[in-house]
Structure formats: C-alpha cells, structure tokens
Amino acid sequence: MLLGVLLATRAPLEASMLRHMLVQLPLLVLCGALLRPWLRLPPGLARWDVQGLTTFTATAFVTTYWMIPRALEQALFQPLAAAAKFASLLLLGAALPGALRRAHVVVQLFYVANICAMMAIAGMLYRELPQRLCNAYLLDDQTVTGTALVALALALGVAWCIGNARHFSDPPEPPQRSGPGRIRD
C-alpha cells in the first residue's frame, strides 16, 4: 500500500527539500484520500463541516504550516513533529473528498485561490532568498523547491478551473451588457 511505501522511503524522500515538500507531502494527502474507506469516518461528521468550511480552513492552516521551513525541518529531527506531519496530512486527505462534494463552487474558489496564492508567495520567497531557510538542505535545493511550489500553485489553480469549467461555461443568468466604461460593437 502507498502508505507503506511512503513510510519505507522516508529517508530518500526527506533527503531533499524538493522531494520532501513536493513529493512526500502531496502523496500523503493522496494516501489519506485512498485510505478513506478504511478510516470509516462517522457520517455525523458532515454536520460539523457544512460546505466543507471546516476541512478547507484546516487545509489552509496545514498547508501553510508545512511550508514553514522550520516546521519541515523539525519533522526531520523530531519524531513527534514527524508523527504530526503524517497524521495531519493523512487526515486532510481523508476529509477533502467529502468536503469538496459538499462545498459550493464559490466556497471552493475562495479557498483554492487563497491556498494557491499562499503557495506561490512561499515559493517566490524560497526562490529569491539568498540565505538558507533550512539548515539541513542545500541552497540550490531550496531554489528548485521554490520554483516547484510556484508551479504547483499554478497547476492546482488551473486544474481546479478545468475541473469546474462547466460552472463557468454556461452562465445561469442572461448575459449582461458589457460593464461600465467598456464599449462593444
């Protein structure tokens, strides 16, 4: 199972910042989503997660937290931080599919835009800073990770737009005339 593979490949994955942040962490979320049938989340939980708001808020915090270089590095050296990393991302993966199903497209847009913007800004910071953010990773690795974070933010945004294209292609209201100040002929 994927979780087993991820646990077994911890050392090689965590040896580089790029693989740690952009391979291991997303795969953990995916793993949580796949583990969903086994976790048997009680159905009453949805009452606490109207429109997926709780899950999305948690997603924003969890993704932000693991993009803090110090937090990522603590997960390397402190078993408790490593456990928190695995638990938080697995749970997130388990909760996300249900939340996405419950959430209105506008709610989704709000959180997706927010999280992608945060990720892109973090990525730019990683790219631009001349000093190392993690003592355990090389500066080149940090720069590449920054680029990859920006790319992932863009990819997530584009993927979400494509996945929800049907909501935009066919506006429910009759098309309005062009906005003020714009002339169409």
Partner 1 sequence: MNLPHSNSSGSRATLLAVLAIMLAGSGALYYGSSGFRAISTEAARRIEVAERPLRLPPATLYGADGAARLLADELSRDGRVTLVTFIYARCQSVCRVVGTELQQMQEEIHARGAADKVRLVTISFDPRDDARALTRYGHMMKSDPDVWRLYGIPLDAERRRLLDAFGVIVVPAPLGEFEHNAAFHVVDRGGRLVRILDYTEPGTALDDALARAAEKT
- Chain residues binding partner 1 by CB under 8 A are 47-51, 53-54, 57-58, 60-62, 64-65, 68-71, 73-74, 104, 106-107, 131-139
Residue among 133, 144, 19, 22 at smallest CA distance from 73: 133
- Shortest gap between Cβ of 172 and partner 1 (angstroms)? 9
Q: Which is nearer to partner 1, 140 or 163 (CB)?
A: 140
Q: How many CB atoms lie within 10 A of CB 85?
A: 22
CA distances (Å), 27 to each of 7, 168, 174, in order?
11, 30, 42
Q: Which is nearer to partner 1, 19 or 34 (CB)?
A: 19
- Shortest gap between Cβ of 104 and partner 1 (angstroms)? 5
Q: Which is nearer to partner 1, 34 or 51 (CB)?
A: 51
- Shortest gap between Cβ of 161 and partner 1 (angstroms)? 18
Upper half-sphere CA count for residue 26 (Cβ side, 13 Å): 10
- Shortest gap between Cβ of 1 and partner 1 (angstroms)? 28
Q: Which is nearer to partner 1, 34 or 81 (CB)?
A: 81
Torsion of CA 67, 72, 73, 77, to 10 degrees: 170
- Shortest gap between Cβ of 58 and partner 1 (angstroms)? 5
Distance separating alpha carbons of residues 101 and 22, to the nearest angstrom: 25
Q: Which is nearer to partner 1, 77 or 155 (CB)?
A: 77
The continuous run of DSSP H or E covering 136 comes out as none
